[in-house]
Structure 1
Amino acid sequence: MSAATTAGPRVSLIVIATGRYLSFLEPLLVSARRHVVGLDRVFVLSDLRPPDDPTVQWLPWGHLPWPYPTLLRYRAISAYRRVLEQTDVLLYVDVDMLFVGTFDVSATAGLVAVRHPGFAESSRAQLPYETDVRSRAFVPPELGTVYVAGGVQGGRAGDYLDACELMAEEVQLDLDGGIVPTWHDESVWNAFCARRPPDTLLSVHHCTPEKEVGPETLLVALDKDHDHFREVPHLERARRRLLQQLQRVRAAVVRAVRPAVRVVRR
């Protein structure tokens, strides 16, 4: 079912798809089966039962108001440790993503993080680490040299689940103190990685915004309009947007010309 069917390490995806986001699941599954090396199972945390699929395991999890779906991600994952630790490698990905190239984390040791595409060339001073010294996600200036993406992370099952449990505790301590990190789960993950650098740091090609997709892209973070989920090809979307722009230009020209026409007729 995956990019490579071997007797190697079993790789399992974790996705959170509550509320309307469950409808984003199927395209991700199709792309993962095609491109994720060693894919064995997909764990779906959701308030709704996903479509029947022998490779998908439903882990019930309630839908929460923003920002709790992301902020409590590590609690959700930790709650199902006994189920999740039965695989070899865990990879969390946001559900509004698509794999487009061979994605191989099967041989990883320890934790895996992905360099954030928006800050790959930024100086330390430009990295958006948490600056609230009261927060457990605070990263002091002497720590951290690489800012990582929150939407793709994982590692060996035991190592990643240990990390999730620690981060869940940190988040709860912040919440008990009335503190919410600026970038929620991403701030927490970056603080963790700043103190305990991941064993594997993947390139920005493992998390590329749709508008910046190139020949080396392996995983795409989709635009917010989610046209991919409506099965509209990239060129068709571009054509539609161009037509919309032309319609606006034509309407503006008509509005500008109409007064002049009236003057001539008089």
Structure 2
Amino acid sequence: MRIFSKTLSNPRRLLFCLCAGLLLSWFTLKGTGLHANLDLLCQLHRILSTEADLLSQHNSTGTNSHLSHLKDVKLPRILYTKSDVFNPQRTDVLTVTPWLAPIVWHGTFNRHILNTQFHQIDVRVGLTVFAIKKYTRFLNTFIESAEKFFMVGHKVNYYVFTDRVNEIPNFTFAKGRRLVVLEVPAYERWQDVTMRRMEMIRDFSIKRFVKEVDYLACVDVDMVFLDEVGVEILSNVFGALHPGFFEKSRNEFTYERRPQSSAYIPVELGDFYFAGGYFGGVIEEVIKLTNYCHNAMMADKQQNIEALWQDESYLNRYFLSHKPTKILSPEYIWNNYYGSPAVVKTKRFLGIDKIYDEVRF
């Protein structure tokens, strides 16, 4: 009885007895001699004994196992249609680049699955906008629409760069979301503001953002969210296809074509034309991107060169040699000026109609 009690109190010993019993039963049924299989039983006993000894040593010394930091992950039960390799969701558009970066279109992902994955790591997302001078008028619509559609259910920091702190209205935010107002100088020309934002994003990423968020998305403020924009955009470094050029050929792209410029891209090169108003990634990659673009601008300024489309030109040059790991379709930065092509199933982020000469300075 004492031996039986000890066996029950030791799960590994009990497991050995059960395995031994099963093996003996199998030997009997198969007519196999027990003496010919004692080595198998001994090997099983050694494995279980060794594991028990290691566990005992761990408990007695208090030493942490190399697996002790792992936690059980409990996933909610999500029912969804099985993917069919012979029936892709979209066949009317390119969904992956030659360097295997996904291109995110409506119908190519399941947001419920993605949300579950990103909730496991408790992701924190930063969203930067520049509300300089008259552009503060767009902030109210931007923030209110973002609260409805941007990263719903996730932690978000809205980083607002502005020269008019007193004009920033008060907002009510969902739990885990907040507004951070960053006072910066205004420049005389709007072109200087759009170029200098690379420097500002870089500097604040180094000294602040890297401590507060995991990913950063950098967008224009004169926009409104009309549909969900979630964790499907997140990647190491991402950009968005310009709505005016995603259907055009390479030689029609408005790259900087002057060889003297640091943003120069010859006519025989280029993958896509990316919009300057939408890029991002993990903080470390955003620092690399913005630092490259800022330094290239400063090098051109020394030669009295300003790239054709300011920061957008340098962004496209960066993506030529540093391929983005994910590309967002034009759904994510649409403008009604380009109509409603059939491939654009939804307009998630839309430019606000305005008179540029009235708001620019």
TM-score (norm. length: structure 1): 0.78
2:194 maps to amino acid: T
Shift of residue 109, structure 1, vs aligned partner:
2.6
Deviations 1:77-128 (A, max 9, x none): 1121211222111111111001111112467331110111100111111111
1:15 to 129, 133, 147: 129
Checking the alignment, whether the CA contact within 8 Å between 1:144 and 1:195 is kept in structure 2 is no
For residues 330 and 307 of structure 2, what CA distance do their matches in structure 1 show?
24
SS class of match (2:239) = strand
CA separation of 1:93 and 1:148: change in aligned 2, threshold 3 A:
same
CA RMSD of aligned residues (A): 2.1
Corresponding position: 1:43 with 2:168:
no
SS class of match (2:299) = helix
1:91 maps to amino acid: A
2:354 to 207, 224, 227: 224
Shift of residue 141, structure 1, vs aligned partner:
3.1
Deviations 1:196-248 (A, max 9, x none): 1111111111111034367511110122249xxxxxxxxxxxxxxxxxxxxxx
SS class of match (1:133) = coil
Unaligned runs of at least 5 residues, structure 1: 227-266
Counterpart position of 2:93: none
1:194 maps to amino acid: L
Counterpart position of 2:145: 31
Deviations 1:41-67 (A, max 9, x none): 100111111234571111111111221
Deviations 1:116-163 (A, max 9, x none): 110011111111110011111111234312001111111112211221
1:155 maps to amino acid: G
Counterpart position of 2:49: none
Corresponding position: 1:72 with 2:202:
no
Checking the alignment, whether the CA contact within 8 Å between 2:125 and 2:157 is kept in structure 1 is yes
Matches within 5 A, 1:145-184: 145-184=271-310
Unaligned runs of at least 5 residues, structure 2: 1-111, 357-361
CA separation of 1:192 and 1:97: change in aligned 2, threshold 3 A:
same
Counterpart position of 1:234: none
Counterpart position of 2:224: 98
Structure of higher CA gyration radius: 2
For residues 23 and 30 of structure 1, what CA distance do their matches in structure 2 show?
13
Checking the alignment, whether the CA contact within 8 Å between 1:11 and 1:106 is kept in structure 2 is no
CA separation of 1:105 and 1:187: change in aligned 2, threshold 3 A:
farther
